[in-house]
Amino acid sequence: MIVALLLLVTAGLFSQNERAAELKKHVTTLASDSFMGRAAGGDGERMAARYIERFFNENEIELLYPTPGQDFSFVNDTGDTLKSQNIIGIIEGYDPVLKNEYILVGAHYDHLGYIKTKIDGTDSLLLYRGADDNASGVAVMLEVAKMARARNFMFKRSVIFAAFGAEERGMIGSWYFVNRAFAQKDKISLMVNLDMVGRGGDGRALHIYTMMPHAELTTLLKDVSDKPLMPVPTIKTSTYFPSDHQVFSSEGIPVALFTTGLHRDYHTNRDNEGEIDYTSMDMTVEYVFNLVMDASNMSRMLSKTILAPKDEKNQSAGGTRIYRQEETEFPALFLHGREQRFLDRWVYKYLKYPQSAVERGVSGRVLVEFTVDHEGKVKDVEVIKSLDNELDDAALKTIEASPDWRPAKIDGKPVPVRITLPVEFRLKR
């Protein structure tokens, strides 16, 4: 038994070491002199595009657009029209219905290129290799794609892997994908963006930006953090970091930007492969893979954010508009408080932890959604992300028995709102 366990542990370590080596290979290649800094519209960017394309082909990941990719044009600072491309791979989900919805993992592959200069009186090229920005993000995306392809039987929804061009020119590639090329953007449940993920020692500096508060997404992120050997990133609701995820967020699509942040080598020639922490990147691969898998298997898509167009907002079967709390002038209230008050004064006061679940050692979060209608009554309670049948039922019954709330209001009139809450079950240690 002990021998078998040791073999399993050893195999796991070998696999992780092997993947770290693959991550290093991706970064070293993309940041090499031959790629000339991968300036948008240049030969180096095209070489990087072919590298990503070959990787997809070698790992049997279907290309959504044939060679040379999803082409688009842009005008540079001197008025010249240049061409770039997005390289898009897709792994189809196994569910006959949910496969028509998508989780998207993206990373831009372009960088700043090079400048001509004199070093010690000699004409030279100063290369901006962009190892962290953003060869690191591309490397993580590629390895997540390889893992997902090997385990495609675990994904109900389809997963898109998008290498965006011309991000450094104003997020042109991602803008083109969302606004011109991909007709099913309303079917994207979550966009995961990987931008500069290579400088966080042991995963301690990993940050996730969600742009705005989103209970369902935050719950997903925390659930992944709770899994064994996962990093515990800092989750922030901020628009501070400009990157491709902002294009998706402007359409109301929930986003999660993964980054280890800016540093002194950002946009300098010092951003090279020797400064990258590949072990930390490997931990990020595991985290993103688990997040994508969890999001792929939810009972429904993540709710659109407050930026979503009105016709994409939730509606009841009768066609009555159902709002999110953030859209109202006066949100629905429970005992003069909002969602946390409801959890503290009702849910956790009356929630029963099934003894059989305790004995089985089951703990975690159930994600529950419900409507507070225009009369303040709680209705249409459902589990969005399941934990365990017994715990799901306990959470449902507690919320279904809720007293009336004070209804939300817009223009002084009561309106129904849809609320999402994580209900925690924690075993005492």
Residue 277 confidence (pLDDT) above 90:
yes
Q: 38 pLDDT band (50/70/90 cuts)?
A: very high
The lowest-confidence range among 50-64, 148-162, 235-249 is: 235-249
pLDDT in tens, 332-378: 999 999 999 999 999 999 999 999 999 999 999 999 999 999 999 99
What pTM value is reported for the model? 0.87
Domains and CATH numbers, the chain: 2-296 (3.40.630.10), 314-425 (3.30.1150)
Residue 5's pLDDT is what?
39
The count of C-alpha atoms lying within 13 angstroms of the C-alpha of 87, restricted to the half-sphere facing its C-beta, is 25
Q: In whole angstroms, how far apart are CA 313 and each of 122, 172, 253, 322?
A: 61, 27, 11, 7
Sign of CA dihedral 319, 324, 326, 331: positive
**Cα(92)–Cα(15) distance, rounded to whole angstroms?**
25
pLDDT in tens, 83-121: 999 999 999 999 999 999 999 999 999 999 999 887 777
225 burial level (CB within 10 Å; 0-12, 13-18, 19+): middle
Residue 142's pLDDT is what?
98
Give, in degrees to the nearest 5, the angle at Cα 410 between 407 and 416. 40
